[in-house]
Structure 1
Amino acid sequence: MNSESTFAERGGSNPTVTVVPTITHATCFNPNGTVGYEVVVSSHWENGASMNSLSLSDDGNPPQVVYDHGGPTLTGTIVSLPVGVYTFSGSVTVLNSNGMWVSVPFSATIWVGIETVWNVLEDMIPSPNSYSAKRNITTQTYGVAYSKNVTSQSEFWMELKATYGSSTNSHLYWVVGETSSSTVFSPSGAFQYVEFYKTSSGSGILLRQNNYGTYETTIISTNSDDKVRVVRDQYGEIKIQLNDNVTSIYTFDMLSSDPMNIGVFSVNQDDGCLNVVSSFDCWGEVYAKMERKLRGVKYQP
């Protein structure tokens, strides 16, 4: 995730300042995430360069001061971050292209979520990194996975990257709705979904929505390693964002207030998804197990 800020100062151009995060997301057994960060200057840190300030904020709380004094470089770790959307902001004093000391502000947005736990995996292979890919079973047309993580909240977000087993014919279908059946996927069974593809002519995503029985398709060109985020706002609008950009590239026509989980369908061997995280709650049984464990009660299913 890189978010940049550059200013043109009179008498010279400023370097680019970037925050590079490393996010360890929350899990159903650990409700907080951890974020490591590094502030990078495109012209490198010169003697005398310094960090002026750095803070982290979200919509519901005042900024948390992370760093507020000068120094030659900046790396660090923030622990115990609840699930949410956060913004780094601050400034550095660096030399511009004309050798003048200038203050350059910067900002970056990060999403701290909960790793996905799969409820059903049919012809799919899981791994610890919220990952799932289709196995080589020719009798099963689609590999199917859908999550135990679910939400009925009006506002939420979920994100993932597609993995491609073939460079000429790979497809992954991500249903924007609630998936509770492992039946063979059909577009007519979902009002709206995201289709990732990679073919010999390129890669991208198809955004499909059912408009009174007819599917409308919007094609978005993407790189094969782009991260896609689905966001529902307080008004029920469902939007698509790419990577760590808060600007939406697409909004579905249909408003939604229904519960949501993560459901994916893959076609070919090794087609699948990874880094699957969301703001969704974990299912209640996890917390029941945790509570019994804390009380020293042996778990009974």
Structure 2
Amino acid sequence: MSPIFSLIAPASYTRPEILAQAAQALQSFGIAVRFPARLQNQKRYLAGDVDHRLQTLYDAYADPGTDAVWAVRGGYGCAHLATEIDWDRLSAKPLIGYSDLSVLLDQCHRHGLPAIHGPVMKEGVKLTADDPALRAASHRDFGALLALLEGKPAESVTLTPVSSALENPIEGPLVGGNLSTLASVAGSSLAFRAPPGAIVILEDVGEPYYRLERDLWQLAYSGALDDAAAVCIGTFEDCVPYGELHIETLFETWLAPRGLPLYAGLPIGHGRDNLPWRYGTNARIAANQLHFG
């Protein structure tokens, strides 16, 4: 029996017609979602004020008829909730999302709750996209999400080593997410810090390279990556390059002096591909393969 998802809108506002289209496409794929009585109560560009978004979060976790909590989108606003959540009120349902959700995924892990970095609900519209490659990738990613919820292991992914590949395998917790989101909470009580031996995944969307460099510098000099064992970069969709500068070169500039191995090629991010993974579980890099936990 397929899992049933409680929907939350912890960040930006989404037009209801998009959510309706996504729900219909997901239903045809065998995924059932449950809308609360009032998912959104728009305030500026947000899905509601902090109290409204927080209450829908609590209600989603308290619903005995659902198996997971699924964000309809990211955008902006999750940090507002992360500082206010009474974590004792949350059950052991996995939270699913990415992008601005990165801060909530990280906090769930810190509080011993399961989380999955993966597609948000509104991306269900990709299941019926005109582009066959987009449809195929979406079917793969949503299928992989269901497999994770059923407890099945994720498939390994081939990486491209940017710095010299290590002879010995790397094994540690898989963490990270959206670069600009994680950089934005540096210096706060929500500051991201990779656990010892962690494999850190980073991705982003719509940022010029100088902003990406600023955010990467912020993470590096805030100590967020001091205990990491490796960094793997996903896609940087619609990020505006500077001349002939490659994103791998940008990352290597700040990570190589720290002795951090750098890998590219992950099908994870805001583009066509966004392979889901369990946040905080042990993963392994060996022979340029990332084996998810």
Decide: shared fold, TM above 0.5: no
Report the structure, 1 or 2, having the larger helix content.
Answer: 2
Report the structure, 1 or 2, having the larger strand content.
Answer: 1
User: Which structure has the bigger radius of gyration?
Assistant: 1
TM-score by length of 2: 0.25
TM-score by length of 1: 0.25
